[in-house]
Structure 1
Amino acid sequence: MSAATLTNVHSRVRELAPGFVVSLIVAAAATFLSEHYGAPVMLFALLLGMALNFLAADGQCKAGIEFTARSVLRIGVALLGMRITLEQIAGLGWKPLALVVTLVVVTILVSVVAAKALGFKHIFGMLTGGATAICGASAALALAAALPNDPQKERATLFTVLGVSALSTLAMILYPMIANWANLSPQEAGVFLGATIHDVAQVVGAGYSMSPETGDTATLVKLMRVAMLVPVIIVAAMITRLQGADPTGKRPPLLPLFAVGFVILACVNSTGWVPPLVQGGVNELSRWCLVVAISALGMKTQLKELAAVGIRPILLMVGETVFLVVLALLLLHWGS
């Protein structure tokens, strides 16, 4: 490596380090609070980041915060592939797979239509619908990384993460009650919880609070929803390419690199050659990347901007969540 290249790398690291370190500190604080108070770590990271939004203004931290919110986010999404294997998905049979695909496709389509009806851009419908239908905050961040730049995209992403984290916490408490009320069997309850609760952690919490069998099934169904990230990202990229939605004139790649990384890691994990220690380490690294990235995204926003969105986005996300629950119960009843 030449001296000039080393100098450039050193200069770039010095430029990015302050913002990245600040994001890392916020993520560590959010993790500590989450572990001690039980609320979603993404919610704490977002709120703490927003409290420090002055750091993202012109200054030493700005470049590093921008880098963390964009590049570290994509690394975290790619590493999510290590959570799933093809064998896990095949082991559940075709009915849960058909149910998950139907729920994801229908919920996102309904969300886009509802968003347009409420006066929002289709991007907001994709973000909220994807977050509700797939895997909560992780899906919102993944879709935001795949969609083209838009003046409203970051605010929409932050609002989606905030809303889906709050709804996911409520779901973890309420949905086991709904499963009991509907007299679902342990496996049916697992399918219901895994197919409707937004975030992985809340699915695990709700499932194992009912029974080990329900928890195992809920986790696998949830991972099937995580696997839907890739086709949804591809479709979102295709739509935005066709519409030329990026005001800068750049067209997003049909299959972003982080989506390719997700698929490769899922395939590698499916071989069974990955030691549990490595698998656990990659999953933990993925979680940290996403928490650090959402901390940076929080620092890039102003609370008054979120307060200005009004009641319509809240109604949209609550409506999507209720729609997903009702549709899941109907499909379970129809398929039984």
Structure 2
Amino acid sequence: MLAMTRISNLVGSEATQKARTLFPGILVAVIVAVSAKFLSEHYATPAMLMALLLGIALSFLGEEGKTVPGIGFAAKSLLRLGVALLGVRVSMTLMMGLGWDLIALVVGGVLVTIGFGLLVARFFGHKWRFAFLTAGSVAICGASAAMAISAILPKDERSEERLIFTVLGVTVLSTIAMIAYPILVRVLGMNDVAGGVFLGGTIHDVAQVVGAGFSISEQTGDTATLVKLIRVAMLAPVVLVASLIIRGVAEMDDTGKRPPILPGFVLGFLVLAAASSFGLIPPFITDLLSQTSRWLLLIAIAAVGMKTNLKQILSVGGAAIALIVVETLFIAGIILAGITFLT
């Protein structure tokens, strides 16, 4: 009994010490995230973009001092927890209402875009890691997908640089698309359903999809959101299959380790998605976990920004920008062609 008490006290002491070590960095990341949310609501700017830029402005906090451990924890562990909680947004029952043809179009668009990115990246001077990171984020769900995919890629000295550049790129392009694509929908004379499929199947981030869809009509907004959730649902299987392939054929990272066969955050995503699809999670819990996911991802991207060197990001070059733009235009073309064929 005495031994158990000593072990309990030791564990408690270690946990308390770890919490004290991580607290300053996590607190700074939370403050940056709250500031970004405030600015986004008052100046109509994506919160992810604001958190990233504010984080980069405070990058000195991620280089030395008491905040370093907590910032690292937020950039890795809180990020994975946020991605896992994304699963509560997925409901297979609602998605089936779109019909198998549209579901196949959206799923096919995701897979073909990833394949396209891997194929053309060499012409832009980039290797498979950056190609998969950018194509996956464009094809699935923007910044969230970029962070999830980055977690399974073998790490090297440029991993965070590639992640930050991708998040920045897809967020900016998604914001441009939120403004431009509704105009295109009207010019092409699409009906509410077709417009929703186009917006949900092409715009990178969920928030921008919602904004673009409901700027046209309520039905377009509902359809766009539903289509976007199909792309979000593709995150887990894409990351799972990719992690298996990478583990089998890719080189080990700088720590001498390979990515896990089934990342814990992917398993969490799948469990929550299944529970949500079968109606096992009460609506108020779903809303709570969904909001928690958004905040965790916002805090994580702020932390990632604070770990980033701006000069290194800018050194990625114009070819990287061109690659993300080409991938964005490609998925837009694929979805538009599919809508034209199906309707």
The alignment's TM-score, normalised by the length of structure 1, stands at 0.98
Counterpart position of 1:254: 261
Counterpart position of 1:108: 114
Which of 267, 270, 274 is 1:263 aligned to?
270
Tell me the SS of whatever aligns to 1:2.
helix
Tell me the SS of whatever aligns to 1:184.
coil
Aligned equivalents of 1:227 and 1:246: distance in 2?
28
The letter of the residue matching 1:277 is F
Counterpart position of 2:71: 65
**Residue pair 1:150, 1:246 contacting (<8 A) in 2 also:** no
Please report how far the alpha carbon of residue 274 of structure 1 lies from its aligned counterpart in structure 2 after TM superposition: 2.4
Counterpart position of 2:308: 301
Answering whether residue 164 of structure 2 is matched by residue 158 of structure 1, we say yes
Worse-matched range after superposition: 103-112 or 144-153? 144-153
Aligned equivalents of 1:156 and 1:235: distance in 2?
21
Tell me the SS of whatever aligns to 1:304.
helix
Answering whether residue 336 of structure 2 is matched by residue 329 of structure 1, we say yes
**Residue pair 1:82, 1:269 contacting (<8 A) in 2 also:** yes
Answering whether residue 189 of structure 2 is matched by residue 189 of structure 1, we say no
Counterpart position of 1:54: 60
Answering whether residue 149 of structure 2 is matched by residue 143 of structure 1, we say yes
**Residue pair 1:84, 1:227 contacting (<8 A) in 2 also:** yes
Counterpart position of 2:45: 39
**Residue pair 2:125, 2:319 contacting (<8 A) in 1 also:** no
Alignment of 1:201-280 (within 5 A): 201-247=207-253, 248-280=255-287
The letter of the residue matching 2:31 is I
Aligned equivalents of 1:50 and 1:115: distance in 2?
27
The letter of the residue matching 2:299 is V
Structure 1: 5+ residue runs without aligned partners? none
Aligned equivalents of 1:151 and 1:303: distance in 2?
15
Counterpart position of 2:327: 320
**Residue pair 1:143, 1:233 contacting (<8 A) in 2 also:** yes
Aligned equivalents of 1:335 and 1:93: distance in 2?
11
Size of the aligned set, in residue pairs, is: 336
Please report how far the alpha carbon of residue 254 of structure 1 lies from its aligned counterpart in structure 2 after TM superposition: 2.2
The letter of the residue matching 2:76 is R
Which of 69, 74, 78 is 2:80 aligned to?
74
The letter of the residue matching 1:196 is T
Tell me the SS of whatever aligns to 1:255.
coil
Aligned equivalents of 2:143 and 2:317: distance in 1?
21
Answering whether residue 13 of structure 2 is matched by residue 7 of structure 1, we say yes
**Residue pair 1:107, 1:129 contacting (<8 A) in 2 also:** yes
**Residue pair 2:39, 2:50 contacting (<8 A) in 1 also:** yes
The letter of the residue matching 2:261 is L
1:243-287 deviation line (CA, Å, top 9, x unaligned) = 232233312122211011001111111222422221111111000
The letter of the residue matching 1:49 is G
Worse-matched range after superposition: 54-63 or 66-75? 54-63
Give the CA RMSD over aligned residues. Answer: 1.1
Worse-matched range after superposition: 243-252 or 25-34? 243-252
**Residue pair 2:185, 2:195 contacting (<8 A) in 1 also:** yes
Please report how far the alpha carbon of residue 97 of structure 1 lies from its aligned counterpart in structure 2 after TM superposition: 1.0
Worse-matched range after superposition: 73-82 or 247-256? 247-256
Aligned equivalents of 1:104 and 1:214: distance in 2?
21
Aligned equivalents of 1:221 and 1:140: distance in 2?
19
Tell me the SS of whatever aligns to 2:140.
helix
Aligned equivalents of 1:295 and 1:325: distance in 2?
29
Please report how far the alpha carbon of residue 142 of structure 1 lies from its aligned counterpart in structure 2 after TM superposition: 0.8
Residue identity (%):
50
The letter of the residue matching 2:214 is Y
Aligned equivalents of 2:310 and 2:258: distance in 1?
31
Aligned equivalents of 1:43 and 1:50: distance in 2?
11
The letter of the residue matching 1:231 is P
**Residue pair 1:72, 1:290 contacting (<8 A) in 2 also:** yes
Counterpart position of 2:4: none
Tell me the SS of whatever aligns to 1:210.
coil
C-alpha change, 1:151 and 1:243, in structure 2 (3 Å) is farther
Structure 2: 5+ residue runs without aligned partners? 1-6
